[in-house]
Structure 1
Amino acid sequence: MTGVAYSFAQQLPAVTYKNPTLPVETRVADLLSRMTLEEKVGQLLCPLGWEMYEIKRNDVFPSDKFKQLIKDRKAGMLWATYRADPWTKKTLSTGLNPALATKAGNALQRYVIENTRLGIPLFLAEEAPHGHMAIGATVFPTGIGMAATWSPQLIREVGKAIGKEIRLQGGHISYGPVLDLARDPRWSRVEETFGEDPVLTGEIGKAMVEGLGGGDLSHPYSTLATLKHFLAYGISESGQNGNPSFAGIRELHENFLPPFRQAIDAGALSVMTSYNSMDGVPCTANHSLLTELLRNEWKFRGIVVSDLYSIEGIHQSHFVAPTMEEATILALSAGVDVDLGGDAYMNLMNAVNTGRISKTALDASVARVLRLKFEMGLFENPYVDPEKAKKEVRSEESVTLARRVAQASITLLKNEHSLLPLNKNRKVALIGPNADNRYNMLGDYTAPQEEENIKTVLDGIRAKLSSSQVEYVKGCSIRDTVTTDIEQAVAAAQRSEVIIAVVGGSSARDFKTSYKETGAAIADEKTISDMECGEGFDRATLSLLGKQQELLKALKATGKPLIVVYIEGRPLDKNWASENADAVLTAYYPGQEGGIAIADVLFGDFNPAGRLPFSVPRSVGQIPLYYNKKAPQSHDYVEMSASPLYPFGYGLSYTSFDYSDLHLSALMPRSFEISFKVRNTGKYDGEEVAQLYLRDEYASVVQPLKQLKHFARFYLKRGEEREVKFILSEEDFSLVDRNLKKIVEPGTFQIMIGAASNDIRLQTKVEIK
Structure 2
Amino acid sequence: MFYNVQTYPLSGWHFGPAQPADLDIVLKSTAATRLGIPPVSAGDTTAGYQTTYPLQSTLSAGKDYPLDYKLGDMQRKEELEVGARGTLSPLAEVGTKVLYPRIQEGGGENADVAAAQLRALVAGLQGGPELNPGSVLATVKHWPGEGAGGEAGIVYDATTIKYHMIPFRAAMEAGAVNIMPGYAGSSYLDPGGPGAGDSAKILTYLRQNLGYTGLITTDWLPSGAWVNAANAGSDVMGGADPGAAGFTMAGFEQQVPLARINDAVTRILKLKFELGIFDHPYGDPVNGPYRFHQPSYTQLANQAARESDTVLKNNGVLPLKLNSGDNIVVAGDRATDGAACCIWSSYFHPDYGSLDQLDALKARAAQNGVNVAQGTAANPKVAVVYVGEPSYTHATAWPDTQPYLPADQLALIQNYRNQGLKVVVVLTLPRPIVISDWNTLADAIVVTYRGGEEVGPATASLLFGDYTPRGKLPWQLPRSLDQVLKPGGGDNQADANEAWDLPYDLGATAAERADIRAKIDAGQTVPTTYGNPLYAYGAGLTSWATG
Q: In structure 2, how many angstroms separate the alpha carbons of the residues matched to 1:384 and 1:627?
A: 43
Amino acid at match of 2:462: V
| Distance verdict in 2 for CA 1:200–1:538, change over 3 Å | farther
> In 2, distance between residues paired with 1:569 and 1:388?
37
Using the alignment, how far apart are the partners of 1:105 and 1:613 within structure 2?
37
Contact 1:424 1:465 in 2 (8 A): no
Q: Which residue of structure 2 lines up, in the alignment, with residue 669 of structure 1?
A: none
C-alpha RMSD over aligned residues? 2.7
* CA apart distance, 1:225: 0.6
What are the Cα deviations for residues 414-446 of structure 1, in whole angstroms up to 9, with x where unaligned? 012x32111142532222211222222333443
Distance of 1:330 and 1:442 partners within structure 2: 34
Q: Which runs of 5+ in 1 are unaligned?
A: 1-43, 53-65, 83-95, 313-323, 474-488, 509-518, 522-531, 636-640, 657-681, 683-769
**Residue 527 of structure 2 corresponds to which residue in structure 1?**
none
Aligned to 2:160: 251
Question: Contact between 2:314 and 2:444, CA under 8 Å: does it hold in 1?
Answer: yes
After superposition, where does 1:138-537 map in structure 2 within 5 Å?
Answer: 138-213=51-126, 214=128, 216-220=130-134, 222-236=135-149, 242-252=151-161, 254-279=162-187, 280-281=192-193, 282-291=195-204, 293-309=205-221, 312=223, 324=224, 327-343=225-241, 349-350=250-251, 352-353=253-254, 356-386=255-285, 390-416=289-315, 418-425=316-323, 426-447=326-347, 449-451=349-351, 453-466=353-366, 469-473=370-374, 489=375, 491-492=376-377, 495-507=379-391, 520=394, 532-533=396-397
1:645 alignment partner AA? L
C-alpha spacing 1:362/1:391, structure 2 compared with 1 (3 Å): closer
Which AA in structure 1 matches 2:284? D
Runs ≥4 in structure 1, deviation > 6 angstroms? Answer: none
- Aligned-partner residue type, residue 271 of structure 1: I
The structural deviation recorded for 1:212 is 0.8
Counterpart secondary structure, 1:380: coil
Q: 1: CA distance between counterparts of 2:96 and 2:373?
A: 36
Higher alpha-carbon deviation: 377-386 or 225-234: 377-386
Q: CA deviation at 1:405?
A: 0.2
Q: Residue type matched to 2:279 in 1?
A: E
Tell whether the 8 Å contact from 1:175 to 1:226 is kept in structure 2 after alignment. Answer: yes
Within the candidate set 468, 479, 496, 1:607 is matched to 468
Aligned to 1:757: none
Is this contact kept in 1: 2:327–2:373, CA < 8 A? no
Report the Cα offset of residue 150 of structure 1: 1.1
Q: Is the CA contact (8 Å cut-off) linking 1:328 and 1:347 kept in structure 2?
A: no
- Can you give the 5+ residue segments of structure 2 that lack an aligned partner in the other structure? 485-497, 515-529
Question: The residue matched to 2:448 in structure 1 has which SS?
Answer: strand
**Map of 2:14 onto structure 1:** 78
SS at match of 2:89: strand
Quote how far apart the aligned CAs of 1:621 are. Answer: 2.2
Residue in structure 2 matching 1:549, options 410, 431, 439: 410
- Distance apart, 1:144 and its partner CA: 1.4
Q: How far does the alpha carbon of each residue in 1:712-753 deviate from its partner, in whole angstroms, 9 at most, with x for none?
A: xxxxxxxxxxxxxxxxxxxxxxxxxxxxxxxxxxxxxxxxxx
Cα 1:248–1:348 shift into 2, 3 Å = farther
CA distance in 2, matches of 1:438, 1:78: 28
**Distance of 1:349 and 1:622 partners within structure 2:** 54
2:28 partner letter: R
Would you say the 8 A contact 1:187–1:538 is kept in 2?
no
Contact 1:328 1:348 in 2 (8 A): no
Distance 1:444 1:124 in 2: 16
More strand by share: 1
Question: Aligned partners of 1:388 and 1:654: how far apart in 2?
Answer: 48
TM-score (norm 1): 0.61
Higher relative contact order (CA 8 A, sep 6+): 2
Q: In the alignment, which of 587, 603, 607 is matched to residue 448 of structure 2? A: 587
1:343 CA drift (Å): 4.1
Shift of 1:553: 0.6
Matched, 1:104 2:1: no
Q: Percentage identity across aligned positions? A: 26
Provide the C-alpha distance between the structure 1 equivalents of 2:35 and 2:343, rounded to a whole number of angstroms: 41
CA distance in 2, matches of 1:452, 1:159: 20
Aligned length in residues: 502
Q: Is the 8 A contact 1:348 1:357 kept in 2?
A: no
Kept after mapping to 1: 8 A contact 2:86/2:137: yes
Q: Give the equivalent residue in structure 2 for 1:674.
A: none
Q: More deviation in 462-471 or 226-235?
A: 462-471
Residue 313 of structure 2 contacts residue 444 of structure 2 at CA under 8 Å; is this kept in 1? yes
| Distance of aligned partners of 1:454 and 1:276 in 2 relative to their CA distance in 1, 3 Å threshold | same
Please give the per-residue CA displacement for 1:129-163, whole angstroms capped at 9, x wherever unaligned.
Answer: 1112xxxx101112211111111111111110111
TM-aligned CA distance change 1:117 to 1:276, over 3 Å: same
